[in-house]
Every structure is written in C-alpha cells, then in structure tokens.
Structure 1
Amino acid sequence: MKKLIIINGPNLNLLGKREPQIYGSLTFKEFFETIKEKYPQVSLEHYQSNVEGELINKIQDVGFSYDGIILNAAAYTHTSVGIGDAVAAIETPVVEVHISNTFNREDFRHQSYVAPNAKGIIVGFGLQSYELAIQSFLK
C-alpha cells in the first residue's frame, strides 16, 4: 500500500469559506474524506499549517519514509527558499499542487521555489489537482 501525505500551506484551512469563486465551496476536510474513500488502496494523510517552519519540519519528518508528498505550499511556493530547500533535501518524491491556475494570477505567483525539485506540478484543476497527484503516484 502506497503511503502518501498531502501537506497544505497557509490559508488552505479556509477552503469552503475563502474566495469560493476560485477555491470552491467544499472544505478540505470534506474533500479529503471523499478521496480517502475513492483511493482505499492508498494510506493517505493530511497536514496543514500556516507557519513556514512547521511545513519545513513536516516535509523533513516524512521525507525519508513516505512514498510521496503532495505539496500545496500556497503562497510560500513563491516566497520560501526554505521550503524549496527542504524539498531538495529529502528522498521522497514531491508533486507540487495548486487549486487555482497560478499562471492566470499575479506575476509573482508564476515563480516556484518548489518546482525545480518536484517530480511534477499540477495547477488549475481545482480540488481535482490533488486527485491527479495521487494518480501520478499510482502509475
């Protein structure tokens, strides 16, 4: 059984409330329950923090023992050299995920410090971006 973790960064705890025209009306908890049911062959966990150092600690904690990390570092994607360095330092493959199409947004969101060390990037498919990342680990 594949062991995967979804790590979400700042403000993703507000899914379902925050800008529903961009992020939808489902909470992440509701969505997470549906994907756990849809992928019973995967041991799937979830972690969220608004704090950069906590995200780095989690990446390091799981980065040598899990089969995959699905990382939505949110705004830290575009600002955190530390998160980029943490992804570079681990052995577990990372798929960078974004709910919105970051290339349709402000110019600063076009830069990613995660991408150079990620297995791949999935952007702009709403919450389905997470499912596509799960599927990438199952192939």
Structure 2
Amino acid sequence: MNYYFYDAMREIKDIVDLANQTFPESAKFQPSDPINIIFENGYRTNKGSAYYGSGRLGKSEPEIVIADEAITETKPEIFRESIMKHSILHEWLHYNFGKYAEHRPGTYKGHYGYNKEFYISYKEGICLLFGDF
C-alpha cells in the first residue's frame, strides 16, 4: 500500500509542477505529513474505507483505513491496483481537507446520491474525482 501512496504522490507532484509552469504564482507542491494507512484482514469488511481524524480507536493520530472487501459475484476483483489506489487517494484527500481546508465531517447516504447539504456533495465528489486520477 505504501507503493500506491508514494506513486500517487509522485503523480500529483508532476501535475502540480506542470501547473506551476503555466501559472508561476501558484502554490508549489508540499508533501503532506505522514499518515498511517491501515489494512487488516476482516476489519470493516464490506463497510467501505474511511479516514479517521482522531484515529480508529479514538487516539490523536489520524489514520486511513482501507476496508477488507469480501469478493462477491457482483464484485469479483476487489483488490485491483486501481481500486486500492483510488481508496487511498480518496481518504488521503479527506485528511488534507481536514488539515488545510477546515473540512467538517458529515454524514451522507452514498457517494453518488443526493445530499441536502452542498458541502457534503462537494467534499465527497472532489475526493471521488481525485481518487480516479
């Protein structure tokens, strides 16, 4: 999983460097502080990955938890590289929103459904897009 994270950081740095060439006044890429990425067999099975600002056990350390997904008939390839990378980047952006953009948590019914509060759709939608880069 660390490979996916560092590979993604290199890709993001390349994108930001290209933007800096076009817009020299734009902010330079700053790597984030390290964050624990947790994957445990059987943990959060089929509940989805998550970012925990105070850690999954209520510690002060933020963590990204990548859910264990059971293979089903409709989801036969859960751990493809693209899915793992998407999950890590999606949750990592939530981490950075929390640190730098005064992101506030909130509940939602799903990533692709209607949310009453605009900021919920924005925070999830931008993380979905980012995860797909």
Fold shared by both chains (TM-score > 0.5): no
State the TM-score, normalized to the length of structure 2: 0.26
State the TM-score, normalized to the length of structure 1: 0.25
Bigger-Rg structure (1/2): 2
More helix by share: 1
